Amino acid sequence: MATLHLVSHSPFTDSRLASCLRLLDSDDALLLMGDAVYALCNGTSFREELESLAASISVFALTEDLQARDLTQTLPIRVKSIGYPEFVKLSCHYLRINSWL
């Protein structure tokens, strides 16, 4: 009964990611896109928090947003970079999609 959460705001100026992380269930997934991928910057508390999430929670980031921000080389091992075809597959796999608008 798992949920795919979509977050697109920078965690440094906005509380959406923080709120989302508190409500994640152990089998949920998180897809970071837009400025939310800044959460993956080296040496930040958000990156640490994402790295320490339960292993059962899948974390994804949209490839085009990582590329645009030059973040592809420093991706944590547990974060998978995906394109739109995989985004579609995830939307089918998870039972509901919670967009943090």
Interacting residues toward another protein by CB under 8 A: 1-3, 6, 8-10, 15-16, 19, 22-25, 33-35, 62, 84-85, 87-89, 91-92, 95-101
Closer residue to another protein (CB): 77 or 95? 95
At closest approach, how far in Å is the CB of 77 from another protein?
Answer: 25
How near is the Cβ of 89 to another protein at its closest, in Å? Answer: 8
State the DSSP string of 2-69.
-EEEEE-S-TTT-SHHHHHHHH--TT-EEEE-GGGGGGG-TT-HHHHHHHTS-TTSEEEEEHHHHHHT
